[in-house]
Amino acid sequence: MQKLKYERPYIKKLNAGIMNKFGTRTDAQAFTHIDGVAVKSVIAQYGSPVFVLSEKQIRRNYRSAYRAFSTRYPKVQFAWSYKTNYLNAVCNIFHQEGSWAEVVSGFEYRKAIGNGVPGNKIIFNGPNKPKEDLLLAIENDSLIHIDHFEELNLLISLSENLVMKPRVAIRVNMDTGVYPLWDRFGFNYENGEAWTALTKIVNSGKLQLVGLHCHIGTYMLSTNAYGIATTKMCDLAMRCKNQLKQTIEYLDLGGGFPSTNTLKGAYLPGTDTVPSADDFAEVITTTLLNFGFTNDDLPLLILESGRMLIDDAGYLLGSVVANKRLGDGKRAMVVDFGVNLLFTSFWYEHQISPAQDFTPHVENMTVYGPLCMNIDVIRESVNLPLINPGEHVVVHKVGAYNMTQWMQFITERPAVVLIDEQQQSHIIRTSETLNYIEEPESTPPHLK
């Protein structure tokens, strides 16, 4: 007979709650492998904590989203939102799949150029585009999405002496019936600013108006809002064609599609409540097809979805540092990754799985990060089995924003590993070193 696993004795407070037919079992299951690669071996090879991305899952997500739109609408183009995850390896997966690049700064713009994206397949968004960045974008024939009148005036003056007309679009904000209303970006639809901007662009004669852009929010849980947004965009496009005699070549509906993470405060898990890419595609494409464009005049539909395409392809692997009992008797677990790496733990109730077999008993606990800061809480309340120090945990769906918004704070940032479709792991960003962090520093002589 196989020797039974040692089980630590424990005392548990009796909860006289309502009877639950599911008992106290947790949903957590041991998550030992990612795409066939053992978690243990990844940590052994690259250290703990470590981010892991699944190339297979990224491609699946992209193809599934592309399929949802392209089987409903004849002209669809995705543009990879760089800010969601601009590791070059990640960007290049999307570019290989056919994505353009959507960038919001000169830094991201140059990254896209460096990744070999042709200038005319880069969409330049964002509220702050300095003169030299604009000049670069004009020279490369990129699509410039204008955010405000200052920028529009600057562009007109910049193109004064140019032979080529810069290709531009405006970002439009509008009321789609959801809160919060993102009216800080672009020109408002309802108060007529958007129309004023469009008129100004066409009348200037210096710019080539090719598209319209909107981005109505983030983590949108209502498909209806996209229907409203699409209708308003189509209306603007139609008015441009009829009144300004300017054909709009594309409508950029932005992104904002949610991943299946569970938002903090949500009653049901994200996997059950979040609309799928198909649901969004159905609303957007039906609106476009029924709006009354002729077949030849149907605008290209551009989508800048980020989160939906990568969130569930990212994992954060870490190790348990310590277990402790808090003052009120609640259990707590300290892990070796903090909110500086897992920025999204401020928004999501991330699913955390043990990376090895565990005992069936679970206990409600708080998961703390390793930072010497009170705010470093990964999960305030989660039912997890008891995991011994040195054992590993996996945080799911961390692919979006964490690898761009992470902070170098107290410790170096960890490595990022990509598992390819042949189950080979590749390091795509090494863990930082002291030298790397100190390299830009300089110490005045009198302080040496």
Residue 411 in the binding site for another protein (CB under 8 A): no
Binding another protein by CB under 8 A: which of 32, 33, 40, 72? 72
Judge contact between 248 and 201, C-beta under 8 A. no
Binding another protein by CB under 8 A: which of 49, 119, 126, 254? 119
Residue 67 in the binding site for another protein (CB under 8 A): yes
Radius of gyration from C-alpha coordinates of the chain: 25
Do the strands 143-146 and 425-429 form a parallel or antiparallel pair, or are they unpaired?
A: unpaired
CB 362, min distance to another protein, A: 27
Please choose, out of 55-63, 195-203, 259-267, 398-406, the segment that lies near another protein by the rule CB under 8 A: 55-63
Task: Please choose, from the candidates 378, 323, 325, 321, the residue with its C-alpha nearest in 3D space to the C-alpha of residue 12.
Answer: 325
93/61 Cα distance (integer angstroms): 12
Site for another protein in 265-304 (CB under 8 A): 282, 289, 295
- Tokens (6 digits) for 130: 């300095």
Residues binding another protein: what is the number (CB under 8 A)?
A: 22
Judge contact between 35 and 423, C-beta under 8 A. yes
Please choose, out of 65-73, 321-329, 366-374, 405-413, the segment that lies near another protein by the rule CB under 8 A: 65-73
Residue 422 in the binding site for another protein (CB under 8 A): no
Residue 59 in the binding site for another protein (CB under 8 A): yes
> What sign results for the dihedral spanned by CA atoms 435, 400, 105, 66?
positive
DSSP, collapsed to helix, strand or coil, labels residue 375 as coil
Residue 74 in the binding site for another protein (CB under 8 A): yes
Residue 260 in the binding site for another protein (CB under 8 A): no
Residue 429 in the binding site for another protein (CB under 8 A): no
CB 380, min distance to another protein, A: 32
Residue 40 in the binding site for another protein (CB under 8 A): no
CB 19, min distance to another protein, A: 29
Residue 70 in the binding site for another protein (CB under 8 A): yes
Place of tokens 């008015």: 239
> Where do the H-state alpha helices sit in 47-120?
55-70, 88-97, 106-114
Binding another protein by CB under 8 A: which of 31, 46, 51, 73? 73
CB 112, min distance to another protein, A: 13
Residues 6+ apart with CB under 8 A from 172: 186, 187, 188, 189, 194, 212, 213, 214, 232, 233, 236
Q: Report CA dihedral (339, 341, 345, 349) to the nearest 10 degrees.
A: -120
- Tokens (6 digits) for 409: 């704070």
Q: Which residue's CB is nearer to another protein, number 32 or number 140? A: 140
Binding another protein by CB under 8 A: which of 35, 249, 252, 311? 249
Site for another protein in 81-110 (CB under 8 A): none
Count other Cβ atoms within 10 Å, centred on residue 2: 4
Task: Please choose, from the candidates 117, 120, 96, the residue with its C-alpha nearest in 3D space to the C-alpha of residue 108.
Answer: 117
Q: Which residue's CB is nearer to another protein, number 141 or number 412? A: 141
Judge contact between 247 and 211, C-beta under 8 A. no
Site for another protein in 139-178 (CB under 8 A): 140-141, 164
> What sign results for the dihedral spanned by CA atoms 340, 343, 347, 349?
negative
CB 296, min distance to another protein, A: 9
Q: Which helix (H) or strand (E) is 245 found in, with range?
A: none
Residue 60 in the binding site for another protein (CB under 8 A): yes
Binding another protein by CB under 8 A: which of 33, 40, 63, 239? 63
Q: Which residue's CB is nearer to another protein, number 301 or number 382? A: 301
Residues that bind another protein (CB under 8 A): 59-60, 63-64, 67, 70-75, 118-121, 140-141, 164, 249, 282, 289, 295
